[in-house]
């Protein structure tokens, strides 16, 4: 999980707080993503951080002082919740000296990942799916034994926000990727299928990334590394048609909060009631 970026779309908040720690309904955005990984059967997680991101490390580590305070006060439910977070998965941290792009963040995990396929979760892409999107993608990986990336159709004017692929359909939702390009202008996009923030990658991506020159924005782009890998092995795309939120920007986070909030087992009913009244009274 790369979490080393500046979070520029969430400035000024991200001047002091990592965007991955912003609350989505009742817990930090990154916890939702860690839970998606765990629900998909992934138990070893590497989070790539950079300076100014130590709140993420603190969050997933045990805090013995806090635990003993809660114990003394008899706050047993809270105590269990706080302990549960630290026990969610086996989480390791890698620090990037400077954020130099998604490809660079992935490359920083090379030694820890080793010679095995692995998954990438971009923490600000939030998917509302059952089974979880990564679980669906693992099924495609099992069938095709090649890298799998999440895809979704986007409007023509949005191509500059995403990696865009040239697809060849294999089955209803699965495509073989023929080419891909990072954040093209609409007239240069090879199709309307965009890359979203879930990937299953073969370890050969590391060698490809190590020779990938800086691309869009002067950063080492994962999309460019994948385009190199394409010359050597097949890469598949899985077109996801469920709900997706770009929670890395204020409007996306608000939308995701409403959607998860109204279904939350503890506060959902009250929140729904509040929204109903709010719109009735404001005439909206
Ligand atoms: C990254 C990837 C891009 C992908 C996007 C999905 O871009 O580089 O290919 O389409 O995530 O959210 P970023 O959002 O980091 O600019």
Listing DSSP states for 56-124 in one string gives HHHHHS--HHHHHHHHHTT-HHHHHHHHHHHTSSEEEEEE-SS---HHHHHHTTHHHH-SS-EEEE-TT
pLDDT at 225 over 80: yes
Is 88 among the domain residues? yes
Write phi, then psi, for 225 (nearest 5 degrees). Answer: -65, -40
Nearest atom (ligand 1) to Cα of 248: 14
pLDDT in tens, 135-154: 999 999 999 999 999 999 99
Minimum CA distance residue for ligand 1 atom 9 = 163
pLDDT of residue 51: 87
**Domains held by the chain: number:** 1
pLDDT at 273 over 90: yes
Is 2 among the domain residues? no
Cβ(219) to ligand 1 under 6 A?
no
CA of 40 to the centre of ligand 1 (A): 22
Is 269 among the domain residues? yes
Query: What are the helix (H) ranges across the chain?
Result: 29-39, 54-60, 64-72, 76-86, 102-107, 110-113, 133-144, 204-210, 222-229, 250-262, 268-282
Minimum CA distance residue for ligand 1 atom 7 = 162
What's the domain range around 187? Answer: 8-282
Do residues 179 and 220 lie in contact, with contact meaning Cβ atoms separated by under 8 Å?
no
pLDDT of residue 97: 83
Is 1 among the domain residues? no
pLDDT at 241 over 80: no
Cβ(137) to ligand 1 under 6 A?
no
Minimum CA distance residue for ligand 1 atom 11 = 197
Share of the chain above pLDDT 70, in %: 100
Is 3 among the domain residues? no
**What CATH number has the domain bearing residue 170?**
3.90.550.10
Nearest atom (ligand 1) to Cα of 5: 15
Query: What value does the mean pLDDT take over residues 21-43?
Result: 95
Model's pTM, two decimal places?
Answer: 0.95
Cβ(20) to ligand 1 under 6 A?
no
CB neighbour list of residue 154: distance below 8 Å, 6 or more residues apart: 161, 162, 192, 193, 194
Cβ(180) to ligand 1 under 6 A?
no
Mean per-residue pLDDT over the chain, rounded: 95
78: confidence class by pLDDT, cuts 50, 70, 90: very high
CA of 282 to the centre of ligand 1 (A): 37
Is 255 among the domain residues? yes
Is 256 among the domain residues? yes
CA of 36 to the centre of ligand 1 (A): 19
Instruction: Give the Cα separation of 91 and 94 in Å (integer).
Output: 10
Is 56 among the domain residues? yes
Residue whose CB lies within 8 A of the most ligand 1 atoms, among 10, 121, 163, for a mutation test: 163
More reliable by pLDDT, 99 or 64: 64
CA of 217 to the centre of ligand 1 (A): 12
Instruction: Give the Cα separation of 260 and 176 in Å (integer).
Output: 33
Cis ω before 12 (30° cut-off from 0): yes
């Amino acid at each position: 999980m790369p979490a080393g970026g500046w979070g520029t779309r969430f400035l000024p908040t991200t001047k002091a707080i990592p965007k991955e720690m912003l609350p989505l309904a009742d817990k930090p955005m990154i916890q939702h993503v860690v839970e998606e990984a765990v629900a998909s059967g992934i138990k070893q997680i590497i989070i790539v951080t950079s300076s100014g991101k130590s709140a993420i490390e603190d969050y997933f580590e045990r805090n013995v002082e806090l635990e003993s305070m809660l114990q003394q006060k008899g706050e047993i439910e809270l105590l269990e919740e706080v302990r549960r977070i630290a026990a969610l998965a086996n989480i390791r941290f890698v620090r990037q000296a400077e954020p130099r792009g998604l490809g660079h963040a992935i490359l920083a995990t090379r030694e820890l990942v080793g010679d095995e396929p692995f998954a990438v979760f971009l923490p600000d892409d939030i998917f509302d799916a059952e089974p979880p999107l990564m679980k669906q993608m693992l099924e495609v990986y099992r069938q095709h034994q090649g890298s799998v990336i999440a895809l979704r159709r986007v409007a023509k004017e949005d191509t500059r926000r995403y990696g865009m692929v040239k697809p060849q359909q294999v089955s209803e939702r699965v495509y073989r990727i023929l080419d891909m390009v990072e954040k093209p202008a609409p007239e240069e996009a090879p199709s309307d299928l965009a890359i979203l923030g879930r990937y299953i990658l073969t370890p050969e991506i590391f060698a490809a990334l190590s020779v990938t020159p800086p691309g869009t924005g002067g950063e080492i782009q994962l999309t460019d590394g994948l385009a190199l890998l394409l010359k050597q092995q097949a890469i598949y795309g899985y077109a996801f048609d469920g709900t997706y939120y770009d929670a890395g920007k204020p409007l996306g986070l608000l939308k995701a909060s409403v959607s998860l909030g109204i279904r939350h087992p503890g506060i959902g009913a009250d929140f729904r009631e509040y929204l109903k009244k709010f719109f009735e009274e404001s005439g909206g």
